[in-house]
A = this chain, B = another copy of it.
C-alpha cells in the first residue's frame, strides 16, 4: 500500500525546487516545466499543487520568509533571557542581512520576489501587514524619542521604518556587491549609535 503523501511536504519539495531554479538561473527561468524537472516530479504534479505561477511564487516566498524568521529566532534565543533592547535589535537585524551563503541564497530569491511583486502585487498579499508588524516591533525596542518635532507625532515608528528600510537597503547592496559585509555592519552599528545616543 503506497505511503500517504503529506500535501504540505510535497508543496515544500516543489517550492524548494522553485527556489533552487530561481537562485541559480533567475526568476525568468522559473516555469512549471523547469521546476518539475528540478523537483524530479511531473509537470502535472506541480500543477496539482500550484495552479498559477503567482501561487507558486507566493508559497516559495513564504518559505524564504519562514527560514529568515527561523534564523532570527535562533540568533535571538542564543542571547539568553532578557537581553538589552539594543543588543536584541542588533541581533535581530544582523540576522536579516545576507552575510553567509545560506542567507545570501535566500536573499537573492527574496530580492527576485520583491522585484516580481513590484509588478504582481497579488503575489504577496501578506507582505504589507508583515512589514507593518515588524516596524511596530522594532519601534517598541527603540528608546522613546525625546519630543517629536512640531507637526510630527510618529517619531518612534518613523525611526523604526527608517531602520528597517536601512537593513533592507544594506541587504540589496550586499547582494549586488556594492557594500562589503564590514561596511554593511559598520553602517548598521552607526545607525544604532544614532538611535540609542
Residues of A in contact with B (beta carbons under 8 Å apart): 23, 25-30, 107-108, 111-112, 114-121, 124, 127-128, 131-132, 149, 152, 154-155, 158-159, 161-162, 164-170, 172-173, 175-179, 183-184, 186-191, 193-195
Contact = CB atoms under 8 A, between A and B. Distances in A.
A118 B105 CA distance: 10
A124 B176 contact: yes
Contacts of A183: 158, 161
- Interface of A: prevailing SS: helix
B193 A165 contact: no
Contacts of A158: 183, 186-187, 189-190
Contact of A27 (B27, B108, B154): B27
Contacts of A116: 26
